[in-house]
Structure 1
């Protein structure tokens, strides 16, 4: 059995919302939200959209990720609604949501799914440049007793920057009963800053393959189970995707059954301590520098803890002497000399992890999900040879 698959323009979230509402009620086709103008890379990497999908698939999330590996994640209604229910339980109940994320990413679609499940009207931020003042205006328009929003770290940082001098933005942030922050790691510095404003945030961990965030502040929600197998995190539970549309080989390599559960191999390094999940970084974001393994995510975490480097991105570059080295990329004037930054990182992670360079660029390319576009950033570094 199959059902039709409909492409929906994600730049019109209201249309995506109606399409999601229809398919969850059983009256509409499956939905694949997509930007009206896909990037050249996406157009090249993704094959044509099939006219139909398996009957149990209601949503397809198309992502090339920050590393440029294309995937089409197929999700069932059961997985989406299980995620919405788990989120509501973790947040203390259902409520009204503000959509501030692109509707073609799972975190954005889940805001719409939660709204449908709660029977509340989603408030939708206009697409385009993120404006804290517009965010504040829309937050004031929300009418439900419980109010929630999902953000990525860069949005939270911009809101806090604005809250420094705009009381309306600060009041808007404080009006939310729950602020989920995901898409990438929430730095301790940013979290502490939010706390200083009296703004409580919840760091989420998950992916399209888990129907969005399934771990809140390190604790699995709903019936999610997380384990570490040889240092790699695996996830089981009701929110798992059906697999990858049209890619049986990748599905078989990523999802497997063991110990009575179906598991998703995340590709993330991490551990589970006392029931809490600790994510170290991507397993494919490790380099060998001078014969030593260096986790670039850990380097980035250490760099971002330094004042003025909160938005820094760390990528790898070839080195004739060391094989590969970490390079720090920033879009503002560095507030610390390279030798000082090297000393701080080396003290925390070892000498092999110390950045070889700091590269300043005019703008850090970002994906519409709010994640750094590491493929493009690496290319930027390549055109900035060492001095």
Structure 2
């Protein structure tokens, strides 16, 4: 099966998605692909994802899975509607907005995705919509900017725009409870979503699986299904599952497992538990990936860049990158570095923020891995907490960062 590569504009992308879903055109890949072989039969869309490991993968999504996801979303939200595209369509959340507009048969309204997200821009984009019902997908960072603009002219216009939507899907990262409470108190109909590229995006809304979606929690090593209330690894089943990872049959077999009855399940890397009524609570990732502004950041990749960029004259020894809770970004990336003995790194008390090093660190990481991975704080310490023989205690580092990092920002 062929594919259409490249970053088309949103309206051209919508037309290409419509053709792919109907079987009239090739599978759509919004970003260039590394995989060069034939695509699995029925593939309509290929998206890149960092997954829970932060490593790039290419996920094949079938037309049937995508349509099942879109229809289940509209069923849950109360019917078809016009969508506002406020997220990049190179990732599943934004691409799903395009897809849902195709399935609903409604015109797509697109924000200026090249401009910084702002309350004034959001209000202007919402004003261009003419649908009787309206939906939008946002990440917590965007919602934070809208809610915290209250009291300004732009902020009040943005809140009025928020209230005009019949549903505001919120995903990409866990939303702070205070943000949800503030948005809902302002009259916004926020629906929290959980899902990933491998499930065609959000498949659990406000803790409740969409129609056809099954969720269970299993013990990590044995795979034994756990009873309600017990925490374990989240697995998802149903018609929304991806076909697999392109060019990696072993990883596909590891992630997508079959029960003896033939049912297929995706083993996520998230920890969660089910209530007696079947609603899901996600407790966090089973690994160390930081989710900042809805983007997965792999600490190891950031650490590797900083180890090279801040060595030598900076006198930096070890580097540990963690995430700490942040009201705007969900998590903020923090670099904690040790003094390596050079005068450049020795002044200041334990846990002292270093603005000059932070500027250099942000530039190095942003140019190598992209702006979302750039640390928002940098702390210099004498030594890193340890757990066992020489192993860094990331939980202790995170606690140190949470206590100290908010004293300075960038």
TM-score bin, normalised by smaller chain: 0.7 to 0.9
What corresponds to 1:348 in structure 2?
none
Evaluate the alpha carbon distance shift between residue 51 and residue 132 of structure 1 in structure 2; reply closer, same or farther with a 3 A threshold.
farther
What corresponds to 2:332 in structure 1?
313
Q: 2:280 aligns with which of 277, 280, 289?
A: 277
Q: Which moved more, 1:99-108 or 1:153-162?
A: 153-162
Q: Residues 15-68 of structure 1, C-alpha deviation per residue, up to 9 Å, x if partnerless?
A: 211110111121110011028xxxxxxxxxxx7342641221110001235853
Q: Which moved more, 1:162-171 or 1:250-259?
A: 162-171
Following superposition, the deviation at residue 386 of structure 1 comes to 2.1
What corresponds to 1:386 in structure 2?
381
Structure 1 stretches lacking a partner, 5+ long: 36-46, 287-295, 321-337, 340-355
What corresponds to 1:173 in structure 2?
162
Following superposition, the deviation at residue 281 of structure 1 comes to 1.0
Evaluate the alpha carbon distance shift between residue 262 and residue 100 of structure 1 in structure 2; reply closer, same or farther with a 3 A threshold.
same
TM-score by length of 1: 0.74
Give matches, 1:332-343, under 5 Å.
Answer: none
Give matches, 1:357-376, under 5 Å.
Answer: 373-374=372-373, 376=374
Following superposition, the deviation at residue 357 of structure 1 comes to 7.8
Following superposition, the deviation at residue 385 of structure 1 comes to 2.4
What corresponds to 1:150 in structure 2?
137
Structure with larger Rg: 2
Q: 1:34 aligns with which of 13, 31, 34?
A: 31
In the aligned structure 1, how far is the partner of 2:43 from the partner of 2:58? 12
DSSP 3-state at the match of 1:162: coil
What corresponds to 2:216 in structure 1?
227
What corresponds to 1:21 in structure 2?
18
In the aligned structure 2, how far is the partner of 1:85 from the partner of 1:143? 21
Work out whether residues 5 and 50 of structure 1, in 8 Å CA contact, stay in contact via their aligned partners in 2.
Answer: no
What is the root-mean-square deviation of aligned Cα atoms in Å? 3.2
Work out whether residues 235 and 267 of structure 2, in 8 Å CA contact, stay in contact via their aligned partners in 1.
Answer: yes
Work out whether residues 65 and 242 of structure 2, in 8 Å CA contact, stay in contact via their aligned partners in 1.
Answer: yes
- Are 2:8 and 1:5 aligned? no
Evaluate the alpha carbon distance shift between residue 247 and residue 359 of structure 1 in structure 2; reply closer, same or farther with a 3 A threshold.
farther
Give matches, 1:251-290, under 5 Å.
Answer: 251-258=252-259, 260=261, 261-274=263-276, 275-285=278-288
In the aligned structure 2, how far is the partner of 1:357 from the partner of 1:276? 43
Structure 2 stretches lacking a partner, 5+ long: 220-231, 290-320, 340-348, 383-410
Work out whether residues 269 and 286 of structure 2, in 8 Å CA contact, stay in contact via their aligned partners in 1.
Answer: yes
Q: 1:59 aligns with which of 37, 41, 45?
A: 45
Evaluate the alpha carbon distance shift between residue 384 and residue 93 of structure 1 in structure 2; reply closer, same or farther with a 3 A threshold.
same
What corresponds to 2:67 in structure 1?
81
Work out whether residues 132 and 159 of structure 1, in 8 Å CA contact, stay in contact via their aligned partners in 2.
Answer: yes
Q: How many equivalent pairs are there? A: 319
Work out whether residues 181 and 203 of structure 1, in 8 Å CA contact, stay in contact via their aligned partners in 2.
Answer: yes
Work out whether residues 66 and 373 of structure 1, in 8 Å CA contact, stay in contact via their aligned partners in 2.
Answer: no
What corresponds to 2:308 in structure 1?
none
Following superposition, the deviation at residue 372 of structure 1 comes to 8.6
